[in-house]
């Protein structure tokens, strides 16, 4: 695929870290929530993958914007938007929450941070959740305040992230449980830090509200991190597909529902909380889904996917490949595909066409690892 530069403008917002990462070997950008999100750094995809799995990386993921919902009706509004039961949620915990509309179509899949019962942050994937929340709040006359706060996340990811963060924040930060968050001091400034991140390699996300202190911390992470072989990085295509960290807009969107995407764990239809699309989801559960996200493997040594690729069985289109990459772990191409009923069974043999060549693959479960 031809490499085409991105045209810069204010509308494609920079982050506080932009000027730094552009001096650190950045090789490509994507756009996420109207903001620059680094998509590659120097080295082959396999080299940066190996580094992420072995050492530690600092990521500019400011494009994971926050929607802050506060006020006396905030808990009711947040619950209305998600099929996950938040009635027993606790302060200081992150919750992965599919957000759906009244037809159960997926609008986003944020991490919801309950700061307190009357203040929530939705750490969003790539869609304007703030507009959905505003529309609902206005329509329902809720007493809430909805803003995009000035929060620019940097993530510290990889197995050595724990040692690096301990060196800066002390032992207590290693005691933070997975998806817990708390405030930690860096040279006199408190930062909200969660044990989370868009990789399965372990690590933290630092929700930087004080930009100046955040930039000092960014530089400090690279200084202190030398002994851990720290490098700049970004969400990694190989790692995220192997781990089946699904990507909104790539693997699923408004035309898909949570039961089709394997989110059953986060669909609480049998509690008495009130949320949009609940009746629709009950109907779907009763009759079963008509399509499902599955893994696919192909004996190929490369793939380049810029849009969905039709998946066929014989002459029949039975689904589409939505993300794919060559995996060094499996020594073949792996991908995430939406597959129609009844073809979404493991070991089904399927075909795709690449440059007019038919390639055969096999349906499998996800995650791959």
Binding site for a copy of itself (CB under 8 A): 1-14, 22, 26-31, 34, 39-40, 101-102, 107, 126-140, 148, 247-250, 254, 276, 304-308, 322-323
Question: Residue 4: which residues within 8 A CB-CB, separation 6 or more?
Answer: none
Q: Which residues are bridge partners to 35 per DSSP?
A: 13, 32
Whichever of 176 and 276 has its CB closer to a copy of itself, that residue is 276
Whichever of 161 and 247 has its CB closer to a copy of itself, that residue is 247
Characterize 244-268 residue by residue with b for buried, 16 or more Cβ atoms within 10 angstroms of its Cβ, and e for exposed: bbbbbebbbeeebbbbbbbbeebbb
Whichever of 137 and 230 has its CB closer to a copy of itself, that residue is 137
Question: Residue 2: which residues within 8 A CB-CB, separation 6 or more?
Answer: none
| DSSP SS3 for 316 | strand
Whichever of 12 and 369 has its CB closer to a copy of itself, that residue is 12
Whichever of 2 and 356 has its CB closer to a copy of itself, that residue is 2
Provide the minimum distance between the beta carbon of 240 and a copy of itself in the complex, in angstroms, as a whole number. 11
Question: Residue 227: which residues within 8 A CB-CB, separation 6 or more?
Answer: none
Provide the minimum distance between the beta carbon of 185 and a copy of itself in the complex, in angstroms, as a whole number. 30
Provide the minimum distance between the beta carbon of 128 and a copy of itself in the complex, in angstroms, as a whole number. 4
Provide the minimum distance between the beta carbon of 267 and a copy of itself in the complex, in angstroms, as a whole number. 19
Angle at 228 between CA 227 and CA 231, to 5 degrees: 110
Provide the minimum distance between the beta carbon of 9 and a copy of itself in the complex, in angstroms, as a whole number. 6
Distance of CA 80 to the CA centre of its chain: 21
Sign, Cα dihedral of 19, 94, 149, 275? positive
Provide the minimum distance between the beta carbon of 166 and a copy of itself in the complex, in angstroms, as a whole number. 33
- The H or E element containing residue 80 is helix 74-81
Provide the minimum distance between the beta carbon of 107 and a copy of itself in the complex, in angstroms, as a whole number. 6
Whichever of 164 and 245 has its CB closer to a copy of itself, that residue is 245
Whichever of 124 and 230 has its CB closer to a copy of itself, that residue is 124
Provide the minimum distance between the beta carbon of 367 and a copy of itself in the complex, in angstroms, as a whole number. 19
The Cα–Cα gap between 44 and 53 comes to: 14
Question: Residue 321: which residues within 8 A CB-CB, separation 6 or more?
Answer: 296, 305, 308, 309, 310, 311, 335, 336, 337, 352
Provide the minimum distance between the beta carbon of 139 and a copy of itself in the complex, in angstroms, as a whole number. 2
Can you read off the two tokens belonging to residue 142?
Answer: 């809720």
Total count of residues recorded for the chain:
369
Whichever of 65 and 191 has its CB closer to a copy of itself, that residue is 65
Sign, Cα dihedral of 264, 197, 63, 79? positive
Whichever of 148 and 216 has its CB closer to a copy of itself, that residue is 148
How far is residue 188 from each of residues 117, 175, 183, 184, 198, measured CA to CA in Å? 27, 21, 12, 9, 28
Alpha helices in 188-343 (DSSP H): 211-224, 237-242, 278-287
Provide the minimum distance between the beta carbon of 252 and a copy of itself in the complex, in angstroms, as a whole number. 10
Whichever of 12 and 163 has its CB closer to a copy of itself, that residue is 12
């Amino acid at each position: 695929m031809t490499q085409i530069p991105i045209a810069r403008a204010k509308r494609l917002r920079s982050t506080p870290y932009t000027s730094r990462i552009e001096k650190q070997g950045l090789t490509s950008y994507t756009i996420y929530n109207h903001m620059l999100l680094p998509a590659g750094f120097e080295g082959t995809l396999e080299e940066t993958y190996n580094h992420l799995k072995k050492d530690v990386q600092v990521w500019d993921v400011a494009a994971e914007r926050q929607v802050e919902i506060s006020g006396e009706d905030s808990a009711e509004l947040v619950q209305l938007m998600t099929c996950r039961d938040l009635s027993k949620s606790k302060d200081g915990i992150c919750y992965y929450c599919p957000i759906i509309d009244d037809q159960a179509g997926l609008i986003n899949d944020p991490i919801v941070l309950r700061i307190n019962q009357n203040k929530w942050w939705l750490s969003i994937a790539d869609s304007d959740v703030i507009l959905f929340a505003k529309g609902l709040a206005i329509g329902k006359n809720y007493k809430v305040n909805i803003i995009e706060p000035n929060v620019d996340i940097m993530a510290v990811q990889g197995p050595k992230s724990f040692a690096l963060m301990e060196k800066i924040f002390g032992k207590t930060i290693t005691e933070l449980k997975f998806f817990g968050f708390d405030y930690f001091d860096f040279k006199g400034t408190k930062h909200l830090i969660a044990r989370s991140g868009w990789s399965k390699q372990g690590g933290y996300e630092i929700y930087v509200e004080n930009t100046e202190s955040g930039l000092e911390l960014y530089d400090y992470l690279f200084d202190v991190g030398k002994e851990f072989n720290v490098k700049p990085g970004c969400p990694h295509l190989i790692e995220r597909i192997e781990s089946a960290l699904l990507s909104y807009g790539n693997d699923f969107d408004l035309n898909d529902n949570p039961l089709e995407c394997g989110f059953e764990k986060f669909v609480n239809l049998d509690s008495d909380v009130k949320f949009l699309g609940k009746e629709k989801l009950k109907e779907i559960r009763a009759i079963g889904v008509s399509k499902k996200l599955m893994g696919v493997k192909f004996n190929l040594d490369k793939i380049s996917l810029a849009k969905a690729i039709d998946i066929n069985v014989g002459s029949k289109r039975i689904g589409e490949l939505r993300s794919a990459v060559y995996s060094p772990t499996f020594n073949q191409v792996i991908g995430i595909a939406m597959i129609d009923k009844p073809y979404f069974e493991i070991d089904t043999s399927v075909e795709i066409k690449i440059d007019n060549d038919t390639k055969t693959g096999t349906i499998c479960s996800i995650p791959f690892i």
